[in-house]
Structure formats: C-alpha cells, structure tokens
Structure 1
C-alpha cells in the first residue's frame, strides 16, 4: 500500500473542490487512469518570509568573506556605460 492515496481521474474531476482543499491542507495524491498511475498531485512548498535573527546569524557565520574592493571592481567592469547619456550633467 502506498503512503499517498490513489484517486481516479473521474474522482479528480467530480470531487475537485474536496481534493484541492486536501492538497492545500498538505495531502498528496496519486492520480490513476484505467488502473494505471499517471501522475502525482502534491502541494507546493511555501517559502518562508521571515527568518529568525538567530538562524540568520548562524547561517551567516559560514558565509565567505567579501572584499569590498573586489566587489566594486566587479561592478565597474560589468556596468553599462553610455557615452551619450542624456541625463549626464
């Protein structure tokens, strides 16, 4: 027996609201047609909008050091420079 319940294509069509509500709640389904598995219906992972300060600090400790001089040099070398900039004064 699979960890995800199997639903037929017909069930998906006829009970779409109920099934989509379950997916929104975190449930996954295997969709079948004529007794054959044809797809998987799974919820999307939501991105976090907030990272706690302690977690950010812990992750930042392993970040590489950044050279301000090298960063500015990279910006200068890749920035678009317009010779006839209409806003230049």
Structure 2
C-alpha cells in the first residue's frame, strides 16, 4: 500500500521512511498538499540456480522449432531471403 507523506514528514522522518522503504513500502511525496513525486524500493534482480533455470526451461522442450512458421512465411512471401 502506498503512503502519502508531506515534504516536511520526509525531511523530519527520513530514517523512518528509509526503514519503511527497506520493508517494501511505497510513498507519494506532497508539497503544499499536491503530489510531486514517488519513492519506492528498488527491485533487486533475482538470482536463479542452475537447477531452477533448467526446471523453468524444461516446459519448452518439445515445442515447435519455428520451421512450420518459416514455411508459412515462405509460402506467402517467397523463399528469396537476404540472410540465409
């Protein structure tokens, strides 16, 4: 959930805002009651183990290689290619 805080709250409570950011909270910052910006935690890239990557890729095994799609394209546009 996004919390709305004023510029003064951000200035005076920056340590608490930083703690909340680390905990995953988002903020909308206002000045004179008008939203002027957003603060949100950085999304860190997940690292995958080799086993997890293999498990995820296994679902694609046995799918079409694209040869059928290429044949359909050749039938419509001809077999003349620039980069074979």
User: TM-score over 0.5 for the alignment?
Assistant: yes
RMSD across aligned C-alpha pairs, in angstroms?
A: 2.2
Task: Find 2:48's aligned residue among 47, 50, 53.
Answer: 50
Task: Find 2:7's aligned residue among 9, 12, 23.
Answer: 9
Unpaired runs of 5+ residues, structure 1, are 66-89
Q: Residues 10-69 of structure 1: CA distance to partner in whole angstroms, max 9, x if unpaired? A: 11011001101100110111100010001111001111223361x312332338x7xxxx
Which runs of 4 or more aligned residues in structure 1 lie more than 6 Å from their structure 2 counterparts after TM superposition? Answer: none
> TM-score under structure 1 normalisation?
0.58
> TM-score under structure 2 normalisation?
0.61
Task: Find 1:60's aligned residue among 57, 60, 63.
Answer: 57
How many pairs were matched up? Answer: 62
1:22 has 2:20 as partner: yes
